[in-house]
Structures are given as C-alpha cells and as structure tokens.
Amino acid sequence: MVFSSITFLFYFLPIVIFTYFISPYKIKNLILLIFSLIFYAFGEPIYIFVMIFSCLVDYTNALIIDKYRKTFKAKFALISSIVINLSLLGFFKYSNLVSLPIGISFYTFQTMSYTIDVYRDKAPVQKNIISLATFVTLFPQLVAGPIVRYCDIVYELNNRHHNIDMIYDGIYRFIIGLSKKVILANNLGLIWFNIKSSSYSDLSSATAWLGIICFTLQIYFDFSGYSDMAIGLGKIFGFNFLENFNFPYISKSITEFWRRWHISLGIWFRDYVYIPLGGNRCSNSRWFLNVFIVWFLTGLWHGAGFNFILWGIYFGIILILEKLFLLKILDKSPNILNHIYVMFLVIIGFVIFDITSIDKIFNYLNAMFSFDNIFDKHFYYYLIPNIILLAFSILACTPIIKDTLEKYKYLRLISLIFGLILSTAFLVDASFNPFLYFRF
C-alpha cells in the first residue's frame, strides 16, 4: 500500500487536480469520491466495500435521527451507528482473523462523528450521499489522518472556494510534508530498524538511546509529514483541515505535549468520550476514572497489543499526577529542566509503543540504563555518518525553520523546489519507505 500510495500521489495527482478543476462545480465532490476510491483500491480494493458500507450505515441512521428527533427512534439510530461502526473496527482490528483495512481507525471515527454531530444538532443532516461519501473517503487524509470531524467540514463540502494563494499554500505544505517523510523519517527509521533488530543484551546504553531517539524523531516526521501532505492537498481542493501537530517536542509538560501531538485524535476523544463522561467537573475519583477510560481507549485505538494498552495507561497516570501536583512544580522549574522531563518520559513512552513484546520492552529499557556497557563501536557507526541528519531533525522539531521560511519568503520557493527534487530522488532510490500510521 505504501508504494501504491506514493505511486498514486506522484503519477495520478496531476490527473486528479486537472480533472477536478476543469469539472463543473456541481460534480467536484463526485470527482473527489471517484479518485478517493481509486486511491484506496491501489492497496486494498476489497475493503472499499467496508468503507462504502460504513457510509450507507451512517447516511441512513442520520436520516432517521433527523426525522425522529428527540424520540426513541433517534436514540436507537445513534446507538445503531455507534455499535455497527465499533463492531466493524473491533472485528478487523482486534480479531486477527483478517488483514487490517488501512486507515479504518481514522475513517471509523469520522463516520461516527457525523451521526453524533447530527444527533447533537451541531451539524445539519447530509441528504446528498455523494457529499457524505466524499467526506468519509476523502483521499488526502483517508489513511493516516488528521481525523476530520463532520461538523468542521460540513460547510466546505458544498460551499468551498478556490484561489491561487490557497493552491500555492497547499502545494508548499504538501512538499514540506513529503520532505519530512522521505528525507527525514525514512532515514531516521532505518537507523532505528537496524538497532531494534539487534540483540538487546549486546547493545550499549548509548546505542540504545540513539536508536529510540531516532524512532522518536521518525514517528514525529512520519506522522506530521503525512498530516502536512493531507492538509496541503486539502487546501488545493478547497478544504481547511485541522492542524494535527504543533511542535510537540518543545512542550514543558506532558499535558502540553498532548495538546500539541495528534491534535485531531485528542479533540475527538475529548468531545465524544471525555466530556460526555463528565470531564473534570466531577469528584476526583470520577475524574480519575474518566482519564483512565480515555487513555485506555487511546491505547486500544492504536492496537490490541498489550504494549499499546500499557502505553495509554502510562500517559494517563502521568497526566493525573501532573494535574494533582506536578504542574505546580513544573511551573516553578527552569524551562530546560521541563523540556528534559518531557522528552525523557516521551522517549520511554515510545519504547513501550513500538516494541510489542513486554519482555523485549524491559530488555531494551535495561540496555538504555545499563552502566556496564556505555559506548561501543556500533554507536559511532550509526552516529557519525548521520550526525547532520540528527542535528537538522532536532532543529526541525522546533519552530525555528518554519519561522525563518515565513520571514524570508524567497526561501520558501527555494525550499519547495529543493524539497521536491530531493524527495523524488529519495523515493526513486529508497527501498525502506514505511508509513507508520498506515497500520492504525
């Protein structure tokens, strides 16, 4: 699917854009729907029917909700939508009986947001099934987010505007995201892949730290890069998708980190799970339970593996502790110590996130904190040739580069051209090209 997706974006995107802009306004959604289905069919044509089924289920249930508002039938239709969507997600994601449809976690949450928004009267019912199917299948963010809620996009589905500035901004944002993905994330990921594949008992602590730092950088540039590409493509077609990342690695607390990382998922759980449970306007014991439920589900959303559940609970506990007393301490601490605190906990969290075996998680952590073997030749082997890559990646985790490009506009054009050429060269030559969030 990764090769198919990249192939589609490079060889078919110009065709999509040309066809879209020469088409009459009334059929632009249909054009996007057709090409979105083609995009998905590159990897998994059979699972198109699962996505179409989800569209039909939510289209029908929303019509019932709108017709029978504030009655048992409306509530039953909402419950039906939620149960069917979660059952599909649960079957494909957690049964291990079939392969996982790419992006099912993302588009399931999107379709659920539609019926919930209509039930809450926060968005009008969509009577045009083409428009609704376009919302669900929209290829720019179909397989790896950001999660687009129906209430945020309902107006633009049938009333969007196009202009040169928006198209230019979209192209620029797409190329920035592509560069993050293929120039930074892929090369960082290759280092992590090699270190992760080694015997953990033989790793020096420096090599173990280098490996997980590379993964920490990789997952950020991989996921934020894809989000940038999706947001950029959305702008080209007249949509304004929600920002999904806001430099999370400059955070001064884990609470702030989760306001900056995977923003669309955090908002989804906040609005559709946390607040309905009572949020923080309740007793401490109930609030603890609410946080536990949200973070248990956040871990479960990423996968059925126990490491994902542990990862979710891990951050849930930290957030509770920060709310109780740690934030007061952090407010009085120097910023540099706060950043070290955040990155230390985030890096440990990513060990839990990416290593699926519990035994291997503890073995890797043991290698990181072992003082018996601090440096070895493998550390220098991976570090020295990649020192510029690592330094630039760390710098790119801060707003410095973005602010510079916005201040000096001519650099934007240079970076756009350079990024496209270099990304294309890497894509043609590279054999290691994973999209981490395709598996979710």
For the whole model, what pTM was predicted?
Answer: 0.90
Which of these ranges, 23-27, 303-307, 377-381, 435-439, has the smallest mean pLDDT? 435-439
Q: Average pLDDT of 53-66? A: 93
Which of these ranges, 40-54, 229-243, 273-287, has the smallest mean pLDDT? 40-54
Percent of the chain with pLDDT over 90: 54
pLDDT the model gives residue 5? 55
pLDDT tens track for 257-272: 999 999 999 999 999 9
pLDDT the model gives residue 309? 92
Return the active site residues.
Answer: 302
| One-letter amino acid for residue 274 of the chain | Y
pLDDT the model gives residue 151? 86
CA–CA distance, 290 with 299 (Å, rounded to integer): 14
pLDDT tens track for 13-42: 888 888 999 999 889 999 999 988 888 877
Is residue 412 over pLDDT 90?
no
pLDDT the model gives residue 245? 95
Task: Burial-class residue 3 by CB neighbours within 10 Å (0-12, 13-18, 19+).
Answer: exposed
pLDDT the model gives residue 347? 97
Q: Average pLDDT of 158-170? A: 89
The domain limits of the chain are 2-160, 166-439
Q: Average pLDDT of 413-434? A: 77
Q: How many residues make up the chain in this entry?
A: 440
pLDDT tens track for 173-183: 999 998 999 89
Is residue 143 over pLDDT 70?
no
CA–CA distance, 433 with 364 (Å, rounded to integer): 24
pLDDT the model gives residue 371? 83
Q: How confident is the model at residue 305 (pLDDT cuts 50, 70, 90)?
A: confident
pLDDT the model gives residue 10? 61
pLDDT the model gives residue 423? 82
Task: Compute the mean pLDDT over every residue in the chain, rounded to the nearest whole number.
Answer: 88
Percent of the chain with pLDDT over 70: 94
| One-letter amino acid for residue 202 of the chain | D
Task: Show the tokens assigned to 268.
Answer: 């989804």
Q: What stretches of 160-245 show up as alpha helix (H) in DSSP?
A: 164-179, 186-196, 205-236
- SS3 for the chain is CHHHHHHHHHHHHHHHHHHHHHCCHHHHHHHHHHHHHHHHHHHCHHHHHHHHHHHHHHHHHHHHHHHCCCCHHHHHHHHHHHHHHHHHHHHHHHCCCCCCCCCHHHHHHHHHHHHHHHHCCCCCCCCCHHHHHHHHHCHHHCCCCCCCCHHHHHHHHHHCCCCHHHHHHHHHHHHHHHHHHHHHHHHHHHHHHHHHCCCHHHCCHHHHHHHHHHHHHHHHHHHHHHHHHHHHHHHHCCCCCCCCCCCHHHCCCHHHHHHHCCHHHHHHHHHHHHHHHCCCCCCHHHHHHHHHHHHHHHHHHHCCCHHHHHHHHHHHHHHHHHHHHHHHHHHCCCHHHHHHHHHHHHHHHHHHHHCCCHHHHHHHHHHHCCCCCCCCHHHHHHHHHHHHHHHHHHHHCCCHHHHHHHHCHHHHHHHHHHHHHHHHHHHHHCCCCCCHHHHC
Name which of 131, 146, 140, 223 is nearest 184 in CA terms.
Answer: 223
Tell me if 204 sits within 8 A of 119, measured CB to CB. Answer: no
Q: Average pLDDT of 103-126? A: 89
Is residue 291 over pLDDT 60?
yes
Tell me if 240 sits within 8 A of 169, measured CB to CB. Answer: no
Q: How confident is the model at residue 4 (pLDDT cuts 50, 70, 90)?
A: very low
Residue predicted with more confidence, 44 or 162: 162
pLDDT tens track for 380-389: 999 999 999 9
pLDDT the model gives residue 434? 61
Is residue 2 over pLDDT 60?
no
